[in-house]
Homo-oligomer: A and B are copies of this chain.
Amino acid sequence: MIDYRSDNTGRAAPEILEALVTANTGTALGYGADEWTARLQDRFSELFETKVRVFPVATGTAANALSLAAIGPSWGLVYCSEAAHINTAEANAAGFFGGGLKLVPVAGPYGRIDPDAFATALAAVLPGQLHRGVPAAVNITQASDLGTVYRLDEIRALSETAKSRGLKVHMDGARFANALARLGCSPAEMSWRSGVDILSFGATKNGGALCDAIVVFNPDLVDGLAVQLRRAGQVWSKMRFASAQLMAYVEEGLWLHLAQTSNAAAARIAAAIADVPGLRLVAPVEANEIFLEIPSGVMDGLEHDGFQFYRRSATLARFVCRFDVTEAETDALVTSLRRLCAAPARAAE
């Protein structure tokens, strides 16, 4: 079986687990008052070229929902892409942790928010129209849930519109490293220098094991977030084992190396099937995901060939390249797709 189901079906990078094991020495204060977590603050501040506060959390859902709850208020409106993970795949955690906050889906290309559509949506709620709620934040999924990546000027356009009305900017960086690898810019440029106040910093999908993080650029959000994390059961008493993972994740560029690997695999597949008749890329492949319009008979054939992937609909399949995908595996997928699309199975469609 060759697994293209999701980033999270994969292994963890061995370096990360080694760091966790290495942290198992001596005693340390609980709930983040340990030295590993202190060093994590310094390391990430260096990485982001500004003083940040980093809070390890168990999952991306927690990172997103608690970031938005920290922005508040509970009657806030949070603008996001229609395809955004917070809108489609987190059981409305944002609405729950936010105490009733409401997501406002905005249209746009390939899982991204169109800046003009955002401006229009925002303009539709005049200040003082209490019955509509109060615009509070915009959520930017980077990379998007359709595997595309916002350019810096797109992020800045959204941020500027947001800030002009007093909204905060949250970036859902479940695939932050993949987007960063794609853009080739600095973490600072893709976050606070482009107006991001608070970041869900994903690690799990890119070789992590049991933790992601929230990185806070806007210091006004820190205190409220800290107590909400505690109340959310997201503050490990033995925090060192989480902080050590995150340290290893960014050490010597590991995170970028892993993301480059998975991005490259996806790009390789996309390029190799570009001319295959009967297939159509639903979105540009800019990170590690491939969304492919594909005859259902071909999907059957792929499964028969031993490939695992998600059927999003009768004719839409998603393939995710993990950091540990091999060249043999990508070659195999390309070969199967080419064969199946040419075969009688296809004619039967």
Binding site for B on A (CB under 8 A): 1, 3, 5-6, 8-12, 14, 17, 20-21, 24-31, 57-63, 65-66, 73-75, 88-93, 95-96, 99-103, 130-134, 204-205, 208-211, 224, 226-228, 230-238, 241-242, 308, 322
Contacts and interface: CB of A to CB of B under 8 A. Distances in A.
A208 B210 CA distance: 14
Given A3-B27, A75-B92, A233-B61, A12 B99 contact: no
Contacts of A232: 61-62, 93, 96, 232-233
Contacts of A5: 27, 29
A64 to B, nearest CB: 8
List the number of copies, as a whole number: 4
- Give the top 6 A-B pairs by smallest Cβ distance, nearest first: A62-B233, A96-B100, A8-B237, A61-B233, A91-B231, A58-B58
A91 B227 contact: yes
Contacts of A28: 9
B21 A17 contact: yes
B59 A236 contact: yes
Contacts of A226: 130
Contacts of A60: 233, 237
B88 A92 contact: no
A99 to B, nearest CB: 4
Given A57-B233, A204-B238, A210-B236, 18 more contacts: A5-B27, A8-B31, A10-B238, A11-B25, A12-B24, A17-B20, A58-B58, A58-B233, A58-B236, A61-B233, A62-B233, A73-B224, A75-B91, A75-B96, A90-B230, A96-B232, A100-B100, A131-B230
B25 A6 contact: no
Nearest to A59: B233
Contact of A233 (B63, B100, B101): B63
Nearest to A33: B9
Contact of A95 (B6, B102, B230): B102
18 contacts: A5-B27, A9-B27, A9-B28, A9-B29, A11-B24, A12-B241, A27-B308, A31-B131, A58-B58, A58-B233, A59-B234, A59-B237, A75-B227, A75-B231, A90-B230, A92-B231, A209-B241, A210-B241
